[in-house]
Amino acid sequence: MDQNAPILIFDSGVGGLTVYDALRKLLPDAPVIYAADLAGLPYGTKSEAEIAARVAGLLGRMSERYQPRLICIACNTASTIALAMVRETLEVPIVGTVPAIKPAAAMTKTGVIGLLGTAATVRQAYVDNLEAEFAADKRLLRYAASGLVGAAEAKLRGQPVDRAAIETAVSALRSMQGGEDIDTVVLACTHFPLLVDELAESFGPDVQFVDGANGIARRIVYLTQDQPFDRTLGARAVTTGDIEEFTLLAPTFATYGLERLDRF
């Protein structure tokens, strides 16, 4: 194992930073490349075929270029649609992001769970299967909150958060049958933990939030145990989009220890 081989963390935008943040606490010495497919953002409003083709194609090219030791698809939309396909085509270990329905089912006291994801995620059979397996005796209320993706992207660029998008998502869940009893909300999009303060304010103090970041980070630690790490080459972020626009995110990325920004 080349000790400089990076862990590649992939998302459509800044959402994967929530996973990277959990990972760097556990593996501070791991070399990392954070890849943001900003040219493809948002994924959540695209079709399954488009997302699968895009993610599989990009990850193939990225793995040739960067020779990662492991790829983390830090995006629920991409994972619920393309994980199996990417695993079939690439040799490198792939860790995906799964909506945290199992822990939410263990946490809820009222038995009513809200789930916020992108439109593409909430309609996946993958989510139906998780619900059937882990929350069959609960009520799971799903809402496609694609508007929150842009709100999170804006927040990390230092722009004001779109409060209307937050209110729309919260009142949509609350107004569903049983919605007033929601006590646990699954943040099934990696962008959404970036808005947890705003969501908490709007939902009120009796609602707890759960996402997959810590579980994913632990899985990566497990899969890379005993491997040597050398972070001399540093951690960096790459984008498929416009590099000038990407540099607007430089101060944010720097707070995550990602000092170098490049174009893929």
Q: Identify the residue among 189, 194, 220, 258 touching ligand DGL (CB under 6 A).
A: 189
Active-site annotation holds for 75: yes
In this structure, the number of other CB atoms found within 10 A of the CB of residue 161 comes to: 16
User: Which of 75, 98, 210, 216 is labelled catalytic?
Assistant: 75
Decide whether 174 or 191 has the Cβ nearer to ligand DGL: 191
Q: In whole angstroms, what is the distance from residue 135 CA to residue 118 CA? A: 20
What residues contact 61, with CB distance under 8 A and at least 6 apart? Answer: none
Q: Does residue 124 touch ligand DGL according to CB under 6 A?
A: no
Q: Does residue 44 touch ligand DGL according to CB under 6 A?
A: yes
Q: Are the C-beta atoms of residues 180 and 110 closer than 8 Å to each other?
A: no
∠ CA(239), CA(44), CA(256), 5° rounding? 40
Peptide bond into 42 cis (omega under 30): yes
Active-site annotation holds for 72: no
Closest approach of Cβ 222 to ligand DGL, in Å? 22
Q: Identify the residue among 10, 43, 246, 264 touching ligand DGL (CB under 6 A).
A: 43
Q: Identify the residue among 63, 108, 184, 190 touching ligand DGL (CB under 6 A).
A: 190
Question: Mask: binding to ligand DGL, 47-86, rule CB under 6 A, as x and -?
Answer: ----------------------------xxx---------
Q: In whole angstroms, what is the distance from residue 215 CA to residue 218 CA? A: 5
Nearest to 34, CA basis, from 76, 64, 71: 71
Closest approach of Cβ 46 to ligand DGL, in Å? 8
What residues contact 24, with CB distance under 8 A and at least 6 apart? Answer: 30, 32, 235, 256, 257
Residues assigned a catalytic role = 75, 189
**Positions that interact with ligand DGL (CB under 6 A):** 11-13, 15, 41-44, 75-77, 118, 121, 149, 189-191
